[in-house]
Amino acid sequence: MALDNTGQRVFKVVGTRPPRPDGVDKVTGRALYGADMSAPGMLVAHILRSPHAHAEIVSIDTSAAEALQGVKAVVTAADFTPQEDEYLDDILVNCLARDKVLYDGHAVAAVAATSADVAKAALKLIKVEYRKLPHVTDVDAAMRPDAPIVQSGRSLETVPEGMSENVTSHCEFGHGDLEAGFAKADLIIERSFTTAATHQGYIEPHACLATMGADGKGDLWCCTQGQYNVRSICADLLGIEASQLRVTASEIGGGFGGKTTVFIEPVALALSRKSGRPVKIVMSRSEVFLATGPTVSSSTDVKIGMTKDGRITAGQAHLRYSGGAFPCGTVDMGAQAAFAAYDLEAVQTLGWNALTNRPKEAAYRAPGAPQAIYAVESVVDELCQQLGLDPLEVRLKNAARKGTKSSYGPTFDDIGLMATLEAAKAHPHYSAPLGENQGRGLSAGFWFNFGGNTCVTLNVNTDGTVGITEGNPDIGGSRAAISQMAAEELGIPYDKIRTIVADTSSLGHNDVTDGSRVTFSVGLATIKAARDAISKMCSRAAQIWGIDEEAVVWEDGAACPAGPNAGKFPPMTLAEIAAVSFNTGGPIAGHYEFNADGAGVSFGVHLVDVEVDRETGGTKVLRYTVFQDAGKAVHPSYVEGQMQGGAVQGIGWALNEEYIYGEDGRLQNPGFLDYRIPVASDLPKIDTVILEIPNPGHPYGVRGVGETPIVPPLAALSNAVSRAIGKRLHSLPMSPPRILKALSEA
Amino acid sequence: MKTIHVSTTVNGDAAEFICGPDESLLDVLRNRLGLTGAKEGCGTGDCGACSVMLDGRLVCSCLVLGAEAEGVTVDTIEGLAEGDHLHPLQQSFIDHAALQCGVCTPGILVAAKALLDRNPDPTETEVRYWLAGNLCRCTGYDKIIHAVMDAAKTMRAA
Amino acid sequence: MRFVRPETLEEAATLLGQESGVTRIISGGTDVMVQMRSGLVAPDLVVDLKHLTGLRSITPEAGGFRIGAAVSGAQLGEHEGVCALWPGVVEGVQLIGSTQVQGRATMVGNLCNGSPAADAVPGLVAADATVRIMGPNGSRDCPVAEIPAGPGRTTLGKGEFVTSVFLPARPERSGDAYLRFTPRTEMDIAVAAAAVSLTVDAKGVVTAARVALGAVAPTVMLVPEAAAAIIGTTLDDAAQAALAAAASAACNPIDDKRGTIEFRTRVAGVLARRAALIALARAGGQN
Amino acid sequence: MVAVVIWGSLRRFTDGQGEVEVEARNFKELMEALSARYPGLKPQIERGVSLALDGRIYREAWFTEIGPDSEVVLMPYMAGG
C-alpha cells in the first residue's frame, strides 16, 4: 500500500505519546507472563541436559524415574516422530537430542511430576550412557579439514567441494570489478575480526503451560514472539492438526528474536498428552543460556580500498559464522548487509556457515548484520585514521542513497542514510571537545526490515468504542501504536480503542513479531481494517439518509455528505452510526488480511564517546547519541525506546558480553553474574534523534525501527576505543584484559 | 522434607502458608500466595526482578527462604498502588514509557520506591547505582531513570 | 533438609556439632541460597541465627566496634561511627552485590563463604579485624586473616560459627580504602582487589600500613612486602611504584573466565597504589 | 523477457552468469521459469527466495507483477529478530 499524501497530512494522534493500554497491568504486577499461569491438577516438568559438548547417546534408561512416586510422565526423543522436513526436524532434535548430544546443555529427557522436587529427583534416576566424541566450539577450527564433524550430510549444494563437512552453506553477493576497484585505491587495508556469540538476554526465561487431552485437543500458554508459529511447529511435531491446538501468547518479557522458535513447548505438550494432566515448564536462567538460541559467533576478513580524498574504490568481506550445531542461514544476511551503507562500484562478500558444538542459534535483532558491519565499519574508520580524513565526511561521500545499486543487489528507493549522517554532523555531540584518554567513535548501521502475514479485525461497538484484535505479542508498546493508527484513521479519541492480542483460534495467521514488522505490517492492516469499517459505516449512513453510498465521505470521525449535491444532512458520528447498527444491517466490523511487503530498509548512525583507563583496560561510556530514520514515528517514546535499548544491547556486545567455552567444550558463564549485560550505572544518558523520511510503502510512511539500533554500536565502540588508546582491537568483546593486553603490546 | 508453617504479613494483611524448608520466599509468593508480580529472572540475585521489601529492607525474594518470613512484614508490587490510585512512580513509568516488555518493571518499582523513601531527592547517578541490581534489557535504562527522577520531583511537591 | 531457629548460641553450636550431614548457617543467605539452588550444596540442616541477641547489632567496644554476624551491608553502611572509623571496610562490604543483596548480605557470610574474591575480606584483613567464634567448646577469637583456607574453605571447626567481627580502634591520622576491578560498575565479582590501611605522622610519613589483596591467590592475603614498601615514605612516586611492584609480585592468581594471570597481576598493583592514595587522603596526609 | 540478477553463489548453476533472462509476468512464473531453465537453482528456490522488485523486497507473494522494465533481483528468503 502506497504512502498517503503525508506531506500535507496533519496527524492528530500519530506522533503523540499517549499512555500504553497495558500500562496499568504492567506497573501493578497484574500482567501475566509465561510463568504466571497455573492450572488445576498441574504437573511441573524439568529437563535432563547433556553434561558433554558432544557425545553419542548409547542408551537411556528412564525406568527408575518412571517408578518414582509422583512421576506422571517421562519423554525422550523416542516419543516423537522424526520429521521429513529438515527445518522441523532440527527444531525437534534441538528440543530433545536423538542419537547424539550436540552441545553442553542439550536436552535429553523430561519428567513431569507432582512437584518440582519430585521431578528433579527423577532426573537423577535417569541413566544415560554416553560415548564422548571430540568437539569443536570455534568457527575457524570447525572449518578446518581435520575438525571433529558435528553433523554429517548437512552441506547444501552451494558449498564448494573439499571443505569440512561442518560447512553447511556458502553464499556470495556483490557486483563490479574488484580488481579494478582496488587498483584505483591509494590505500588498501585488510583486517581480520572475531565476535563472540551473545545472548538476547531477555529477563523472562522461557515458560509454558500445556494441556492436551486424549482427544488430541490441546491448549498452550507460552511466552513467544509468535503464537501462530508455535502452533504450526508444535502441531507438526506432535502429529496433530493445527486447528486442534490453541496457542495463547502470554505477556512477553523480552525476546529480541530469541522467542521466535520453540524449545520446551513440544516437550510440555508431549508430557501432558502422556500424563493427561496440565504440564508447566519454566526454564532456569542457566538453561536459557545453555540451551536457547544465542546469536552466531563470527570470524571475518575485510579488505577495503580508498582514495586519498576518501572515496571507497572497492570492498570485500569474507564472513565465517557459526549458528551452533545446526545449519543456519544468518550468514546470508550478514553478507548482504555488510556494505549496505555504501555506494560502491565494486563490492563482494562471501559467507560460510559452519557447525560447532554450541546451542542452535536463534535470531537476535538484525540477525547477522552487527557482526559484518562491525568489521566493515572498523576498516573504514582505520582508513580514515591513516588518511587523516574525517570519518563522517567519508561516510557522507560514500553513502548509499536513492538510486544506489545496493551491495546486495537491488537499487535503493527513498532511504534516510544521508539525512541521518547530516543530522549527526550537525549535532553538538560531533564537535564536542574530548579529554585525555577519550575517543569518539562513529558507525553507520543497516537493516532490511520485513513485513509478512498479518490479520486484523476491528470491531465497532454499539457504544461508539472500538475493539481491535491483532495477533502479534506486544513486546514494546505495539498495542499503543496500533490503537493510535486506528484512532487516526477513524477520527475518534485514542482512549475509545482497546487493542488485544488474539490466541490462534480467534484470528487468522500472523507471522512472528520479528523483522521490525509489527508497527509497519499490523499498523498497515489496522489502517486498512479501519477503512473497511469506515466504508461500511458510510454505507449505513447513506442508507439512513437515502442517498448513494458514493455520496458519503468520512471526516473527523463522522460520515458526511460528500458535497452539496449529495444532500443536506448533519454528519453522523461513529457512535451514532454504531448505536443504530442493529437496525441498519447488524454489527459493524472491519477486517484486513494480507502478506505485507514494502517494509522499507532502515539506516542508523551512532556516535559514542568513551574514556579508557590505561592502567586497567576498563572502558567507560561517556556520551551516546543515536540518529535513526523511523519513516514516521507513531509513538515517539517507544521509537526512542527501541533506539536506546538496541544501542545498549550493542554496547554490552562490544564491551563485555560473550559466550565463554572451556577446553572441555562446556559453557562457563551461564548466568547473569558472568554473562555481563549492562547495568544502569554503566551507562550515560542515551540521546536520540529521530528522522522521518517517509517509507513509500506505508500510508503514513512508517518504517520498522526495532532492529537497526543494535547494528552500529559494535563498530562505534571499537572505533572510539581505538581513537582513545591509539590501538585497534579486532575482537569483541573489548573486555578489560584484552584492552590492557593491546596497550602493553608496544 | 518436613514442611513449615509460617505466619507473616504481606502488603499489610496477615498471611499464613506452609512451605518446604528449602523453598524461596519468591516461590512462596508466586506459587502459594498467588502474588505473581515478583518475577524470577535468574534465581541468583543478579537481576532484581523478584525485588520485595522485607521488614522495610529491599531484598531479592529469590535469596530469602519462605521460612524466614515468619513474623516479618513483606511488601510486594501488588501493594504499591492504593486501591485504584497508582503510586506516583507507577504513573510516572506509564507517562515516561519507562517500560517496554514490562517484566522487570515490578522489581524496579519496588526498588525505586525503597530509594525514594530514604532519599527523596536523589541524583541521577544515585538512581543509576541504586538500580544497578535491576536488569532491564529493553529500555537501555534511560527512560527508567527519567521516570524515577520525575516521580521524585512529583512526590517532593506533594 | 531441616530449617531450625535455635534459641541460643549454645543450642546452635550443639545442633551444628551433632549434625552428621551437611550444615549451613543462614543469616543473609545470599550465597547459601544460590548454592542450594544450583545444586552445589544440599544441606541437611540449615540454621537461622539472625534473631539471636547481638547478632544484628553494632556496639562500640574499646574504641572500636563489635559488629554482629547478621548485620547486613545496608545496616553497616548506615552506621556513622563505623563509616567514619573504617570507611575502607564499609566500602568493601557495600560492593557485595546489588542494593537488594545489601539488604541481606553480611560480611561474616562473605568471609565464611571462602571466596578468594570476597569483597569484604581484604578490608577486614587490612584492618587487622578479629572474629569471635562460637563452637561446641565455647567461644574464641581469631584474626580474620586466619579464617580463609582456600576457595570455598575456612579454618572453622565442626560446629563452629562466627558470631561477630571486631574492628579495633585506630590511632589518629589513619585511613583505609578498598578498590576492586570489575568489568561493570556493579553486579560483578572482583577480578583483582586491594585494601590498604595506614597511619601517618604529623609530617605525613607513613608509620604503619597493612595491604591486603583479593582475587589474586587461593585466599585473600596480607602482603607485608607491599606495606613495607610504603612505611617510612610519604607515598611519593617511588614509594607508589614500589608498592605496586610488591603487590604484583605477591600475586599468585589463576587464568579463568573473569581474567588472565597477567591482567590480575598488573591490576592488583595498580589498585594497591590507588587504594593507598585514597587511604592517605583519608588519613589527612598528602603525597 | 525479464532480466533477473541472481546472487553470486548461484552463478555456478547458471553457467557463470550473474544476470539471466526468463519469461515471467510475476514472482511465481519467475521461480518456475528459473527452475526449469536452470535446474541447479531448484533446491535454493524450494528452500526459499525473496524477490526485490525495483528495490522493494517481496518474500512470498506469488502474483507480484513484474513489469517489463522492472529491476528484478533474486535474494535469499530472510527473517529478522
* pLDDT tier at A359, thresholds 50, 70, 90: very high
Residue of A170, A292, A332 for testing the chain D interface, max D β-carbons within 10 Å: A332
Q: Which residues of A touch D80 (CB under 8 A)?
A: 257, 363, 365-367, 447-450, 514-517, 704, 707
Overall residue count recorded for chain D in this entry:
81
Q: Which residues of D7-26 are buried (b: 16+ CB within 10 A; e: fewer)?
A: bbbbeebbeeebebebebeb
Q: Which chains touch D (3 or more CB pairs under 8 A)?
A: A
- The three-class DSSP label of residue A404 is coil
- The three-class DSSP label of residue A24 is helix
Domain ranges, residue C229: 174-283
Amino acid at C133: I
Q: Cell match 580463609: residue?
A: C148
C:249-278 residues touching chain A, CB 8 A cutoff: 256-260, 262-263, 266-267, 270
Three cell numbers written together for A115 = 512437584
Query: Does D75 sit within 8 Å of A367, measured CB to CB?
Result: no
- Per the structure, how many domains does chain C have? 1
* pLDDT tier at A1, thresholds 50, 70, 90: low
Could you say which of A228, A257, A291 is where a domain stops?
A291
- Mean pLDDT for the stretch of residues A414-434: 96
- Mean pLDDT for the stretch of residues C219-243: 98
Domain harbouring A225, CATH code: 3.90.1170.50
pLDDT greater than 80 at residue B8: yes
Q: Cell match 530514520: residue?
A: A629
User: What is the pLDDT, as a whole number, of residue A600?
Assistant: 85
User: What is the pLDDT, as a whole number, of residue A215?
Assistant: 87
Structural domains present in chain D: 2-76 (3.10.20.30)
Domain ranges, residue A256: 37-133+200-291
pTM score of the predicted model: 0.97
Calpha distance B28→B20 (Å, rounded):
9
Does any domain span residue A139?
no
Residues 6+ apart with CB under 8 A from A744: C266
Q: Does D61 touch chain A (CB under 8 A)?
A: yes
Domain harbouring C271, CATH code: 3.30.390.50
Q: Cell match 591513516: residue?
A: A386
pLDDT greater than 70 at residue D29: yes
Does any domain span residue A495?
yes
Nearest to A118 by CA among A87, A85, A81, A73: A73
pLDDT greater than 70 at residue C22: yes
Taking CA–CA distances from B136, the nearest residue in chain A reads A203
pLDDT greater than 80 at residue A694: yes
- Give the H or E element holding residue B23: none
Does any domain span residue C90?
no
Nearest to A247 by CA among A256, A255, A238: A238
pLDDT greater than 90 at residue A414: no
Helical spans, DSSP H, in D1-81 = 27-37, 42-47
- Mean pLDDT for the stretch of residues A701-724: 97
Asked whether residue A322 falls in the same domain as residue A258, the answer is: no
Angle at B87 between CA B86 and CA B88, to 5 degrees: 110
Per-residue pLDDT of B86-124, as tens digits, reads 999 999 999 999 999 999 999 999 999 999 999 999 999
Asked whether residue A274 falls in the same domain as residue A330, the answer is: no
Amino acid at A686: I
Asked whether residue A254 falls in the same domain as residue A308, the answer is: no
* pLDDT tier at A28, thresholds 50, 70, 90: very high
Does any domain span residue A120?
yes
Asked whether residue A112 falls in the same domain as residue A251, the answer is: yes
Query: Does B95 sit within 8 Å of A672, measured CB to CB?
Result: no
Does any domain span residue A360?
yes
Task: Write out the residue limits of the CATH 3.10.20.30 domain(s) in chain B.
Answer: 4-79
Angle at A426 between CA A12 and CA A400, to 5 degrees: 85
Angle at A317 between CA A314 and CA A319, to 5 degrees: 170
User: What is the pLDDT, as a whole number, of residue A738?
Assistant: 97
pLDDT greater than 80 at residue A189: yes
User: What is the pLDDT, as a whole number, of residue B1?
Assistant: 67
Write the residue in B2, B24, B133 that is nearest to C100 by C-beta.
B133
Q: Which chains touch B (3 or more CB pairs under 8 A)?
A: A, C
Asked whether residue A233 falls in the same domain as residue A376, the answer is: no
Q: Please state, rounded to an integer, the average pLDDT across all residues of chain A.
A: 97
Per-residue pLDDT of C56-85, as tens digits, reads 999 999 999 999 999 999 999 999 999 999
Calpha distance C55→C34 (Å, rounded):
23
Does any domain span residue A385?
yes
Phi-psi region of A449 (alpha: psi -120 to 50; beta: other; left: phi over 0): left
Calpha distance C185→B141 (Å, rounded):
15
Q: Please state, rounded to an integer, the average pLDDT across all residues of chain C.
A: 96
- Per the structure, how many domains does chain A have? 3
> What ipTM goes with this model?
0.97
Residues 6+ apart with CB under 8 A from A394: A306, A310, A312, A380, A383, A384
Q: What are phi and psi of D78, to 5 degrees?
A: -130, 160
Asked whether residue A61 falls in the same domain as residue A98, the answer is: yes
| CATH number belonging to domain B88-157 | 1.10.150.120
pLDDT greater than 80 at residue A619: yes
Could you say which of A566, A589, A612 is where a domain stops?
A589
Q: At what angle do helices A86-95 and A265-275 cross, to 10 degrees?
A: 70
How many other CB atoms sit within 10 Å of the CB of residue A301? 16
A:505-524 residues touching chain B, CB 8 A cutoff: none
- The three-class DSSP label of residue A44 is strand
* pLDDT tier at A253, thresholds 50, 70, 90: very high
Nearest to A449 by CA among A301, A238, A632, A601: A601
Which percentage of chain C shows pLDDT scores above 90?
97
Asked whether residue A418 falls in the same domain as residue A508, the answer is: no
* pLDDT tier at C286, thresholds 50, 70, 90: low
Asked whether residue A306 falls in the same domain as residue A286, the answer is: no
Task: Write out the residue limits of the CATH 1.10.150.120 domain(s) in chain B.
Answer: 88-157
Three cell numbers written together for C52 = 539471636
Does any domain span residue C105?
no
- The Cα of A671 is separated from the nearest Cα of chain B by a number of Å equal to 7
pLDDT greater than 60 at residue C267: yes
Higher model confidence: residue C142 or residue D59?
C142
* pLDDT tier at A567, thresholds 50, 70, 90: confident
Q: What are phi and psi of C235, to 5 degrees?
A: 65, 40
Taking CA–CA distances from A453, the nearest residue in chain D reads D60
**CATH fold group of domain B4-79:** Ubiquitin-like (UB roll) (3.10.20)
Calpha distance A529→A534 (Å, rounded):
8
Calpha distance A104→A29 (Å, rounded):
35
Calpha distance B21→B17 (Å, rounded):
12
Which percentage of chain A shows pLDDT scores above 90?
96
- The three-class DSSP label of residue C226 is helix
Cis peptide before A733 (omega within 30 of 0): yes
* pLDDT tier at A566, thresholds 50, 70, 90: confident
Q: Which residues of C touch B54 (CB under 8 A)?
A: 103-104
User: What is the pLDDT, as a whole number, of residue C220?
Assistant: 97
Domain harbouring A656, CATH code: 3.30.365.10
Write the residue in A254, A680, A685 that is nearest to B101 by C-beta.
A254
Q: Does A23 touch chain C (CB under 8 A)?
A: no
- Mean pLDDT for the stretch of residues A89-99: 98
Residues 6+ apart with CB under 8 A from C47: C4, C5, C6, C12, C15, C16, C23, C24, C25, C26
Does any domain span residue C36?
no
Calpha distance C152→C116 (Å, rounded):
8
Chain D meets chain B (3+ C-beta pairs below 8 A) = no
Overall residue count recorded for chain C in this entry:
287
User: What is the pLDDT, as a whole number, of residue A6?
Assistant: 54
Q: Which residues of A touch B95 (CB under 8 A)?
A: 19
Does any domain span residue A595?
no
Nearest to D38 by CA among D62, D17, D60: D17
Per-residue pLDDT of A129-144, as tens digits, reads 999 999 999 999 999 9
Partnered with residue A300 across adjacent β-strands are A193, A319
Could you say which of A291, A314, A337 is where a domain stops?
A291
Nearest to A354 by CA among A136, A166, A198: A166
Asked whether residue A383 falls in the same domain as residue A509, the answer is: no
Distances, alpha carbon A266 to alpha carbons A106, A140, A208, C158, C188, in Å: 15, 34, 10, 49, 36
User: What is the pLDDT, as a whole number, of residue A7?
Assistant: 58
- The Cα of B61 is separated from the nearest Cα of chain C by a number of Å equal to 9
Are C245 and C255 in contact by the 8 Å Cβ rule? The answer is no
Per-residue pLDDT of A433-463, as tens digits, reads 999 999 999 999 999 999 999 999 999 999 9
Nearest to A167 by CA among A181, A182, A180, A150: A150
Are A444 and A395 in contact by the 8 Å Cβ rule? The answer is yes
Does any domain span residue A140?
no
Per-residue pLDDT of B58-69, as tens digits, reads 999 999 999 999
Write the residue in C183, C189, C256 that is nearest to A736 by C-beta.
C183
Does any domain span residue C277?
yes
